[in-house]
Amino acid sequence: MSGSLLAYVVRRLVWTIPVVLLVIFLTFVLMRQIEGNPFRTSERAVPESIQRNLERKYGLNDPWYVQYAMYTKGVLTFDLGPSLVLRQRTVNEIVKEHFPRSLELGGLAFLFAAVFGIPLGILAALRPNSWLDYGAMFFSNVGFAVPSFLIATLFIYYFVVQWDVGFPTSGWTNWESKVLPVVALGLAPAAYFARLVRGTMLETAQQDYIRTAQAKGLRRRRIVGLHVLRNSLIPVVTAAGPLLGYLITGSFVIEEIFAIPGIGRYYVTAVTARDYSVVMGLTVLLSVIVILANLVVDILYAVLDPRTREARA
Amino acid sequence: MVVQPGEVTRDVGGPGAYAGTAAGAPIRQTSLWRDAWYRYIRNRAAVLAGVVFLVVLAYCLVWPAVSPYDPYKVDFSQARQNPSLDHPLGTDRFGRDMLTRTALGGRVSIGIGFAATIVILVIGVAYGAISGFIGGILDNGMMRFLDALYGLPYLPFAIITLAIIGDINFWSMTVALAIASWFTTARIVRGQVITLKENDYIRATRAIGARWYRILLRHILPNTLGVLIIAVFLELPAVVLGEAFLSFIGLGISPPEASWGAMAQEGREVYRTSPHLIVIPSVAIAVLVLCANFVADGLRDALDPRTRET
């Protein structure tokens, strides 16, 4: 049994390598398609000779495959290269400075979503078609549809401008400044969790083994706690993939609104400044995170549910 | 044959219950689509959502033509009014009527939404059908490629695509959003094609000598139609939200044209004094997304009762 699990994990790990290489390649190809050159914009006119030197220094005149090979080598040794626009800084430094904030924001929002959304889904599923259930599903549907920029702006409007409960409108320093962005970013994932947990629990409750448990006279608490809950939380693990997508997309907007100097905000700046190496570095970083998250999810899923090992090779 | 308890409960609410086969009544002929229609109109939430969806569409299409206000005419003496009888949704900071502007913004948002959805379906169906129908090494390779694309996060992918096209307008937004989000549809179509391929009627078709393109175009693809209709209402809200996010971070189409997301971004700058300017376009987005989600759920229940999601 554990042998097949080990084989699955190894196979899944080995598959990740070409996928990461392909993502680096795709990002590289995409970035090369963008018109223009960071040193040839009219805003930053420099003499022709200096331009040549700069292009040579950053390898912009090498053939594409040389650039690609150099870049892949850099990524694999955790060196994302220098920033093309901010001469004194490397992409690694930028990541080191901005990424922890985004990571904290995303992590806290995920925590909020799990702590708030999962119990809500469980409660709704325990009393289907009750007012609690309707309320939870209303929240879930609306939380899913309302764009996070509205939620964030309303938070600022009411909590800061109107009622002034002591939260600042921007920044990422003390815990007061973190409450509003985290909740604004976490609401949609919480809605997603609530809906998912409710759905899987109601589905599990109809399974034969639940009927058997009822038939042999187990108490409801034991049936729900032991059989329903455990089995219906397994699919929730797979939710982490799409959830990460929401968090990344959401953080771009939330960081913009609350002026949090994180990766999302920097990303947009780097795109408009045509800072290739920063955009590439950040894209590759985000992609690798998504790929690794999917890897962890798949392995967790295989550990929790042995049936998937054969099916998902 | 062992009857699964689950099947029994399903049949109670299954097609027969809606198609007029009550005891004694003459058996009417019924088609898949009529069955689906009956199932759909019994779902009150889905019907309501569908009606609201159509109303929003009609408002966006018709209102700019009949509105007494010119949506482009700047009049600073009328700027940033709160909702009133003259202007039911108030005016923006250039004094333009918000009810008319919102309809116009809806044209852009929903237009991009539908255009991108069509592109997504075309790419997704072609990719998924080829991969699933041919199978083997090609299928494996195409799916690994898809895995890699899945690794690229949605918004950064769309932003890079926009940067490649260079120009931000209706069509570049459409292409960028579609290219960043066709993968799920491709996977669904592939799964569907692989399932259908093993059906007996496909084998029979092959046995009597039908060519592969005839099998694919005549017998397999028409049967994926149900999945594709659902996909429209799953992709549309995702694209509308994606477009709104892009516009909100400043990568939207430029004024005086505006999508709902671009309007929200404009409104964001004056949220302290005129909160309605960000609330109205955002609520419009929310209503559209909410309706599309409910319609998608209703369609899924109606077209494919087996995979009913609670």
Q: pLDDT tens digits for B192-227? A: 888 888 888 888 988 898 888 888 888 888 888 888
What pLDDT does B152 receive? Answer: 78
Residues of B in contact with A147 (CB under 8 A): 241, 244-245, 248, 261, 264, 282, 285-286
**Number of A:B CB contacts under 8 A?**
146
Tell me the CB-side half-sphere exposure of residue A26, using CA atoms within 13 A: 24
Q: Residue B252, Cβ neighbours under 10 Å: how many?
A: 27
Closest CB to B148: pick one of A22, A198, A208: A22
Cβ A136 vs Cβ A121: under 8 Å: yes
A277: three-class secondary structure by DSSP: helix
Name the CA radius of gyration of chain A, rounded. 24
Report the C-alpha gap between B47 and B168 in whole angstroms: 36
Residues 137-166 of B with CB under 8 A from A: 144-145, 147-157, 159-161, 163-164, 166
> Minimal CA–CA distance to A270: which of B262, B174, B249, B167?
B249
Residues whose CB falls within 8 Å of the CB of residue B52, separated by 6 or more in sequence, listed in order: B287, B291
Report the C-alpha gap between A91 and A282 in whole angstroms: 8
User: Domain A98-275 class?
Assistant: mainly alpha
Instruction: Indicate which of A25, A255, A280, A287 best probes the interface with B, i.e. most B CBs within 10 Å of its own CB.
Output: A287
> Beta partners for B97?
B91
Domain contains B22: no
Q: Which of B297-301's residues contact partners 24+ apart within 8 Å by CB, and which partners?
A: B297/B45, B297/B46, B298/B40, B298/B43, B298/B45, B298/B46, B298/B47, B298/B49, B298/B50, B299/B36, B299/B40, B299/B46, B299/B229, B299/B230, B299/B233, B300/B230, B301/B39, B301/B40, B301/B43, B301/B46
Report the C-alpha gap between A194 and A236 in whole angstroms: 10
Closest CB to A253: pick one of B9, B159, B248: B248
Residues in chain B: 310
CA distance B75 to chain A (A): 27
What pLDDT does A52 receive? Answer: 73
Cis before residue B256, ω within 30 degrees of 0? Answer: yes
Closest CB to B152: pick one of A23, A199, A279: A23
Report the C-alpha gap between B143 and B234 in whole angstroms: 21
> Beta partners for A90?
A82
Q: Which tokens belong to B261?
A: 């997301």
Q: Residue B137, Cβ neighbours under 10 Å: how many?
A: 8
How does residue B116 score in pLDDT terms, banded at 50, 70 and 90?
Answer: very high
Q: Which of A247-250's residues contact partners 24+ apart within 8 Å by CB, and which partners?
A: A247/A106, A247/A109, A247/A110, A247/A185, A247/A189, A248/A106, A248/A286, A248/A290, A248/B153, A248/B154, A248/B155, A248/B156, A249/B153, A249/B154, A249/B155, A249/B242, A249/B245, A250/A109, A250/A148, A250/A185, A250/A188
Find the helix or strand (DSSP H, E) in which A300 lies: helix A276-304
**What percent of chain A lies above the pLDDT cut of 90?**
2
Q: Residue A215, Cβ neighbours under 10 Å: how many?
A: 8
Report the C-alpha gap between B177 and A31 in whole angstroms: 17
B19 interfaces chain A, CB cutoff of 8 Å:
no
A80: pLDDT strictly greater than 80: no
CA distance B182 to chain A (A): 15
Closest B-chain CA to A144: B290
Instruction: Indicate which of A170, A252, A278 best probes the interface with B, i.e. most B CBs within 10 Å of its own CB.
Output: A252
Domain contains B16: no
What pLDDT does A160 receive? Answer: 80
Average pLDDT for residues B262-282, to the nearest whole number? 85
pLDDT, tens digit (0-9, with 9 covering 90-100), for B1-24? 344 443 333 334 444 444 444 555
B143: left (phi over 0), alpha (psi -120 to 50) or beta: alpha
Report the C-alpha gap between B237 and B85 in whole angstroms: 32
Average pLDDT for residues A280-297, to the nearest whole number? 84
Continuous H helices in B67-135: 98-134
A127 interfaces chain B, CB cutoff of 8 Å:
no
Strongest mean pLDDT among A71-85, B5-19, B119-133:
B119-133
Contact A144 B148 (CB under 8 A): no
pLDDT, tens digit (0-9, with 9 covering 90-100), for A2-19? 567 788 888 888 888 888
Range of the domain at B175: 36-307
Report the C-alpha gap between A207 and A42 in whole angstroms: 67
B61: pLDDT strictly greater than 50: yes
CB burial of residue A157 (10 Å; 0-12, 13-18, 19+): middle
Residues whose CB falls within 8 Å of the CB of residue A180, separated by 6 or more in sequence, listed in order: A152, A155, A156, A159, A160, A167, A258
Closest B-chain CA to A250: B245
Report the C-alpha gap between A30 and B174 in whole angstroms: 17
The letter for the amino acid at B100 is: T
A21-50: string of b/e by CB count within 10 Å (b at 16+)? Answer: ebbbebbbebbeebeeebbeeeeeeeeeee
Residues whose CB falls within 8 Å of the CB of residue B215, separated by 6 or more in sequence, listed in order: B202, B205, B206
Domain contains B248: yes
CB burial of residue A73 (10 Å; 0-12, 13-18, 19+): exposed
pLDDT, tens digit (0-9, with 9 covering 90-100), for B233-247? 989 999 999 999 888
B310: pLDDT strictly greater than 50: no
pLDDT, tens digit (0-9, with 9 covering 90-100), for A36-61? 565 555 555 667 777 777 777 666 67
What pLDDT does B17 receive? Answer: 44
Average pLDDT for residues B173-198, to the nearest whole number? 90
A242 interfaces chain B, CB cutoff of 8 Å:
no
How does residue B27 score in pLDDT terms, banded at 50, 70 and 90?
Answer: low
Residues of A in contact with B176 (CB under 8 A): none
B194 interfaces chain A, CB cutoff of 8 Å:
no
Q: Indicate the pTM of the whole model.
A: 0.82
User: Cα dist. B180→A146, A250, B123, B172 in Å?
Assistant: 21, 16, 11, 12
Report the C-alpha gap between B129 and B218 in whole angstroms: 13
A283 interfaces chain B, CB cutoff of 8 Å:
yes
What pLDDT does A312 receive? Answer: 47
Strongest mean pLDDT among A201-210, A290-299, B20-29, B290-299:
B290-299
How does residue A174 score in pLDDT terms, banded at 50, 70 and 90?
Answer: confident
Q: What is the ipTM for the molecules in this complex?
A: 0.80
Closest CB to B160: pick one of A31, A150, A248: A31
Closest B-chain CA to A244: B153
What pLDDT does B277 receive? Answer: 85
Contact B163 A249 (CB under 8 A): no
Higher pLDDT, residue A54 or A262 = A262
How does residue A35 score in pLDDT terms, banded at 50, 70 and 90?
Answer: low
Residues of B in contact with A282 (CB under 8 A): 156
A267: pLDDT strictly greater than 60: yes
CATH number at residue B230: 1.10.3720.10
Name the CA radius of gyration of chain B, rounded. 23
* Residue that is written with structure tokens 């038939």 in the block: A215
Instruction: For A110-165, give the DSSP string.
Output: HHHHHHHHHHHHHHHHHSTTSHHHHHHHHHHHHHHHS-HHHHHHHHIIIIIIIS--
Contact A18 B144 (CB under 8 A): yes
Higher pLDDT, residue B295 or A54 = B295
Residues of A in contact with B149 (CB under 8 A): 26
Residues of A in contact with B249 (CB under 8 A): 252-253, 256, 268
Domain contains B94: yes
A82: three-class secondary structure by DSSP: strand
Residues of B in contact with A202 (CB under 8 A): 310
Closest CB to B293: pick one of A145, A199, A245: A145
**What domain count does chain B have?**
1
**What percent of chain B lies above the pLDDT cut of 90?**
22
Angle subtended by helix axes B225-246 and B183-197, to nearest 10: 170
A258 interfaces chain B, CB cutoff of 8 Å:
no
Residues of A in contact with B289 (CB under 8 A): 144-145
| Phi, psi (degrees; rounded to nearest 5) at B97 | -65, 125
B9 interfaces chain A, CB cutoff of 8 Å:
yes
Higher pLDDT, residue A87 or A208 = A208
Q: Residue B281, Cβ neighbours under 10 Å: how many?
A: 32
What pLDDT does B250 receive? Answer: 82
Closest B-chain CA to A208: B5
A87-101, A119-133, B53-67, B216-230: lowest mean pLDDT where? Answer: A87-101
Residues 222-261 of B with CB under 8 A from A: 237, 241-242, 244-245, 248-251, 261
B88: left (phi over 0), alpha (psi -120 to 50) or beta: alpha
Mean pLDDT of chain B: 81
Report the C-alpha gap between A52 and B132 in whole angstroms: 50
Continuous H helices in B135-208: 136-151, 154-165, 170-179, 183-197, 200-207
